[in-house]
Amino acid sequence: MLKLRIERGSAPVWFRAIIPVIAVLITFILVSALVIVAGASPLSAFFELLINPLTKTTARADILMMATPILLTGIAVTVAFAAGYYNIGAEGQLYAGGIAAAWVGTQLQTESSVLMIPLMLIAGFIAGMLWALLPAILKVRLQVDEVVTTLLLNSVMLFLVSALLNGPWRDPVSGWPQSPTILAAAQFPVLIPRSRVHLGAIVAVIVALVIWWVMSRTRFGIEVRAVGKNRDAARFLGIPVGNRILMAALISGGIAGLAGVSEVGGIHYYMTSTLSSNFGYIGVIVATLGALTVPGAILSALFLALVNRGAISASRELDVPVYLGDVIQAALLLVGLATLLLNRYRIRRIR
């Protein structure tokens, strides 16, 4: 008689690879009930969500545009989580990067995009790092829970943005709470004609490749992952645990800041309180669903962008709520976190 036993331990590599697929399948089963309640067929809804957008050129371009900011925030969260630092503040760090980009894009008087755009990216990266610095120091020095501090700083940043846009940055002509429009030289070039796919997509891919190389091919990346796996063992091996956590947190904040630069320079061309559609929080889903790997984050970002674009199509064609994409994202986060626990168990045959 075949006997199996579940025991604690690292799950097989093949099983860890299919965990995200399991999470997606469970999520769609759960969401099917809501689709039925809305009066639509789950098969039709999922066709509009996952297949129909891929058949249209404009929709495919929209997917790339939507994937750009969430890939950047997903990579940001992946770096922090890999170090065991649970950065939930990518939303605030994104806005910090957006503020810096809007300031550089209006204050630096030059007609050279070659100079302006790199300066905006550098400023946004630094701004994101600075906004991530305080909770990182509190974590490393005083062991203050970073989930609480980074989450609270998101609200602080939104108040700061509101104060800026309703104060010194309010448009003197229209009276709208938005910053002055950035100069033409600061606006990201469009990559695909008659679309909103801009230079930020290339920036996101470059960042993803650099982080993949750093995390998998350098001593620093290996040490960061070692700290995330087991801090006590890493400390025993002589790895400066506090320094690696601090550096991972700052890099994470800087990359999230680049997402803000991308939205200001490529989409809005000014700073606004609606700069982000919860991209920082979606980044947590991207990192989780991608199993804290860069290739996984890329696939997850494209998948979530597809779901968001497909939700628009499903709402128009089937008259289901346009918030279906948000529901799927929330369910994916919860199911993804639950299924990640399976990484800690394996099934062993008892002879």
Express each pLDDT in 15-62 by its tens digit.
667 777 888 888 888 888 888 887 888 888 888 888 989 988 899 999
Fold exhibited by the domain 3-350: ABC transporter involved in vitamin B12 uptake, BtuC (1.10.3470)
Both tokens of 57, joined, read: 């050129």
The residues near 139 (Cβ < 8 Å, ≥ 6 apart) are 85, 145, 146, 149, 245, 249
Give the rounded distance of the alpha carbon of 230 from its chain centre. Answer: 25
Mean pLDDT of 4-8: 62
> Of all residues in the chain, what percent carry a pLDDT higher than 70?
91
Q: What is the pLDDT of residues 215-238, one digit of tens each?
A: 999 999 999 999 998 999 999 999
Lowest mean pLDDT among 86-100, 179-193, 215-229, 327-341: 327-341
Domain boundaries, given as residue ranges, for the chain:
3-350
Three-state DSSP at 55 gives: helix
pLDDT band at 78 (very low <50, low <70, confident <90, very high): very high
At residue 322, the pLDDT reads 76
Q: What is the pLDDT of residues 289-323, one digit of tens each?
A: 888 899 999 999 999 999 989 888 888 888 877 78
Mean pLDDT of 261-273: 95
DSSP-derived secondary structure letter, 192: S
pLDDT band at 332 (very low <50, low <70, confident <90, very high): confident
pLDDT value at 97 more than 90: yes
Rounded Cα gap, residues 298 and 18, in angstroms? 16
pLDDT value at 241 more than 80: yes
- Please report where in the chains the tokens 């120091």 appear, as a residue: 137
The residues near 273 (Cβ < 8 Å, ≥ 6 apart) are 158, 161, 162, 165, 177
Give the type of residue at 205. V
Buried b (16+ CB within 10 A) or exposed e, 27-47: bbeebeebbeeeebeeeebbb
